[in-house]
Chains A and B, each alone.
Chain A
Amino acid sequence: DQQVKQNSPSLSVQEGRISILNCDYTNSMFDYFLWYKKYPAEGPTFLISISSIKDKNEDGRFTVFLNKSAKHLSLHIVPSQPGDSAVYFCAASADGSSNTGKLIFGQGTTLQVKP
């Protein structure tokens, strides 16, 4: 049972354009969401996160949007750069007040930004 789903295995965009990566989840108890980026032969690294009490969080070129009613979140990268080419993982946890959840990851989306 895949609680976090990234239905697009890959995405290709032109340098300078917007990249939009999507993620859907099924567990309504999830209250914290994160995006990780992974380069080949390296471990995933934290990129940006959002709490369920917000619907948007921005950090430089990266913005995450959360639509709780649709159980959907997206990561926007503007403008996209060739160095953004990597695998992006969406993750979610049901932290509650005790922060005892565990991170559940999606399948990942491979982003290719063409010069």
Chain B
Amino acid sequence: DAGVIQSPRHEVTEMGQEVTLRCKPISGHDYLFWYRQTMMRGLELLIYFNNNVPIDDSGMPEDRFSAKMPNASFSTLKIQPSEPRDSAVYFCASSRTSGGTYGYTFGSGTRLTVV
């Protein structure tokens, strides 16, 4: 099993540009999560999906952020337009459940820098 795969690993973009982060979850995992890591708040949950359907997007900071999961093996997190304060490491994770019993498997993250 290749684990959770995220791309790109690093992204540097100019303020105002559109950024798309990609994630391939582990096959058979029905839940997919997008987290953002910052020094102040640690790992923040942005949104999660169950069977490709968004369940909770209360953590999405603004309308500039959107996420989709068109099928069980692919999800995107889009920021449009991007701002310098969006600079962070974005993690995708997948799991068999939404709860903690089985834990989540995380990808290696995408380090986003907006200049």
Contacts of B39 in A (CB 8 A): 107
From A43, A44, A101, name the one whose CB has the most chain B CB atoms within 10 angstroms: A43
Minimum distance in angstroms from A87 CB to a CB of chain B? 9
Q: Is the CB of A101 within 8 A of B98?
A: yes
A45-B106 contact, Cβ under 8 Å, with A89-B42, A102-B48: yes
**A44-B91, A105-B35 given as contacts; is B99 within 8 A of A99 (CB)?**
yes
Does A21 make an interface contact (CB < 8 A)?
no
Which residues between 57 and 104 of chain B lie within 8 Å of chain A, taking CB atoms?
A: 91, 93, 97-101, 103-104
| Chain A, Cβ-Cβ closest to B38 | A107
Judge whether A33 is part of the interface by a CB distance below 8 angstroms.
yes
Contact count band on A: 20 to 34
**Interface 1/0 per residue, A22-47 and B, CB below 8 Å:** 00000000001110100001111110
A107-B101 contact in complex given A43-B107, A44-B91, C-beta closer than 8 Å: no
Q: Which residues of A contact B48 (CB under 8 A)?
A: 102
Which residues from chain B contact A99 at a C-beta distance below 8 Å? Answer: 97-99, 101
Contacts of A96 in B (CB 8 A): 99
- A75 at the A/B interface (Cβ < 8 Å)? no
B45 at the interface (CB under 8 A from A): yes
22 contacts between A and B (CB under 8 A): A41-B108, A41-B109, A42-B109, A44-B43, A44-B91, A46-B104, A46-B105, A49-B100, A49-B103, A91-B100, A93-B100, A96-B99, A99-B99, A102-B56, A103-B99, A103-B104, A106-B42, A107-B39, A107-B40, A107-B41, A108-B42, A108-B43
